[in-house]
Structure 1
Amino acid sequence: MSSQHPTADAFAQLAVELHDSDGVAETVETAVQFARQALSCRYAGLVLIERGQTPVIAAVTAPVITRLYQLQLDSGQGPLMASLESRTPVSVADATTDDRWSPEWAALTASIGIRSVLHLPLMPASQPVGVLSLFGEQPNSFDSDDLAIGHILARHASIAVANARNEETMAQAVDARKLVGQAMGILMERFDLDADRAFGVLRRYSQDSNTKLRDVAQQLIDTRKLPPVSQ
């Protein structure tokens, strides 16, 4: 592809931008925009694996890529799914001649004007967190240098996504503790309970109503009432 590959300074800047991104959504958006520019490709996208091992479309540089992703997620077939399952890079040199994938995938890529595809798994550890995808308008768009650059991009993105997820999880845990503490305070004041009994009330309502503890706390704070318990 283009001989104008990103410099060490560009990668350093990417690392800073990824670190400074606010949450997972902004992190993946930063990653795909840099990837598209770094490899001078037409489109880029990123699919994340959610906690329940469900792949979801996290970022695309154009709506047409959402269609291409969704076709593969719905059918369970295609180079994206192959990369997710094998945890290895999957490349398509020419989508018009590659017969490994379904006719529907070939037809859609042709209609979009995509000839070359490169899917790179995001592997911060032994388990993948997603796949970074690059799409070119010409056959054989991605050479060995592009693949090496793509690996570096995927490594940066995988670490950034993992860190962003951890930070969001920690923030949610802190927020949940604050909510439960507020709700306990309401119960302690209204019913003259100590902290242990107030927490026991919240936990019982959480179990009986099959509602998360933080959601029970939030409802009590918002309405000053505990959620109804189905009989």
Structure 2
Amino acid sequence: MAYSRVMTTGSDEHVGFSFGDEFTRLTATVLGATNVGDVLQRVVDATVRLIPEADIVSITLREDRGRFHTPVETSPEATKLDMIQYDTGEGPCVEAARPEGTTIAASADVAADPRWPRFGKAAAELGVGSVVAAALLPGPGSPRLSGALNVYSRRVNGLDSLDRDAILLLATHASLAVAETQAVTMADLQAAQLREAIDSRDVIGQAKGILMSRRGVSADEAFDILRRASQELNVKLVTLAETLTERHGELELP
């Protein structure tokens, strides 16, 4: 299937461009892949180039045991958006990343979407208006990784049907990257910078446990405390969690 898009410039001149060359280059990269992380990064970079409203992009991978990670992303904000979904268990990226999940999960207005109230509220607070997550198909080998390509737009109704089609194609390329890369082992995942994601999740879990014990709150409430404190202090969530776990006897969150 060939794709083209017509863009309007400030002078109202219409400029068309084909996605064909980009997908051809991406396919060649995927088929010659030896490192899954490099190819996934190229998929993310291509998504930013091809989708005009792709303000934030990430890829979610889900291990056989059910653990989610974000190996590649365009900014720490992408990881934060993904982590909110991993911790609350709701949102488009976790729905699309589950092996039994939907092929595509999308919302034109996350703040008003009744399916994901906690994620929608948090995403809107981070300036996200709409989102599309397309499933990565699990490969035949072991471990059977599944996942999703996540595209966030700051504008409500920012991602149209043509964008969704292109995102599905890009997700297919990411699936091929995982399937074609030989021996996707934990060592490969570490090379793909997943070790940082695993460590980040662990330290956030420890910080949540400390807050749950000290304040008598639930896991969701503890995460909300961390998220609000991160925003108020303008400190990355992971950095705040690390500080809390190392110095929890000295610190009190706002």
Q: Quick check: 1:58 aligned with 2:71?
A: yes
Q: Per-residue displacement from partner, 1:53-93 (whole Å, max 9, x unpaired)?
A: 32211111010111111111112122222223423200010
Residue 215 of structure 1 corresponds to none
Q: Does the CA-based 8 Å contact 1:124-1:155 persist in structure 2?
A: no
Cα 1:102–1:154, aligned 2, differ >3 Å: closer, same or farther? same
Name the SS of the counterpart of 2:109 in structure 1.
coil
Q: Does the CA-based 8 Å contact 2:139-2:179 persist in structure 1?
A: no
Q: Quick check: 1:162 aligned with 2:165?
A: no
- Structure 2 spans left out of the alignment, 5+ residues: 8-16, 189-254
Q: TM-score, normalised by structure 1?
A: 0.65
Q: TM-score, normalised by structure 2?
A: 0.59
1:139, distance to aligned residue in structure 2 (A): 1.3
Residue 117 of structure 1 corresponds to 131
Q: Quick check: 1:3 aligned with 2:6?
A: yes
Residue 106 of structure 1 corresponds to 120
Q: Does the CA-based 8 Å contact 2:55-2:153 persist in structure 1?
A: yes
Question: Structure 1 CA distance, aligned partners of 2:120 and 2:66?
Answer: 26
Residue 94 of structure 2 corresponds to 81
Greater C-alpha radius of gyration: 1
Deviating 4+ runs (over 4 angstroms): 124-128
Residue 42 of structure 2 corresponds to 30
Question: Structure 1 CA distance, aligned partners of 2:138 and 2:165?
Answer: 17
1:48, distance to aligned residue in structure 2 (A): 0.9
Residue 168 of structure 2 corresponds to 151
Name the SS of the counterpart of 1:45 in structure 2.
strand
Q: Per-residue displacement from partner, 1:7-43 (whole Å, max 9, x unpaired)?
A: 2111101122334554122121111111122112101
Q: Does the CA-based 8 Å contact 1:121-1:128 persist in structure 2?
A: no
Question: Structure 1 CA distance, aligned partners of 2:56 and 2:33?
Answer: 21
Question: Structure 1 CA distance, aligned partners of 2:150 and 2:24?
Answer: 21
Cα 1:134–1:6, aligned 2, differ >3 Å: closer, same or farther? farther
Question: Structure 2 CA distance, aligned partners of 1:160 and 1:73?
Answer: 23
Question: Structure 2 CA distance, aligned partners of 1:148 and 1:81?
Answer: 20
1:73-222 aligned within 5 A: 73-85=86-98, 86-103=101-118, 105-123=119-137, 129-164=146-181, 166-168=182-184
1:51, distance to aligned residue in structure 2 (A): 4.0
Q: Quick check: 1:70 aligned with 2:83?
A: yes
Question: Structure 2 CA distance, aligned partners of 1:100 and 1:51?
Answer: 25
Residue 175 of structure 1 corresponds to none
* More helix as a share of residues: 1
Once the two structures are aligned, what percentage of the paired residues are identical? 26
1:6, distance to aligned residue in structure 2 (A): 4.6
Question: Structure 2 CA distance, aligned partners of 1:157 and 1:82?
Answer: 17
Cα 1:142–1:30, aligned 2, differ >3 Å: closer, same or farther? same
Q: Does the CA-based 8 Å contact 1:124-1:159 persist in structure 2?
A: no
- Structure 1 spans left out of the alignment, 5+ residues: 173-231
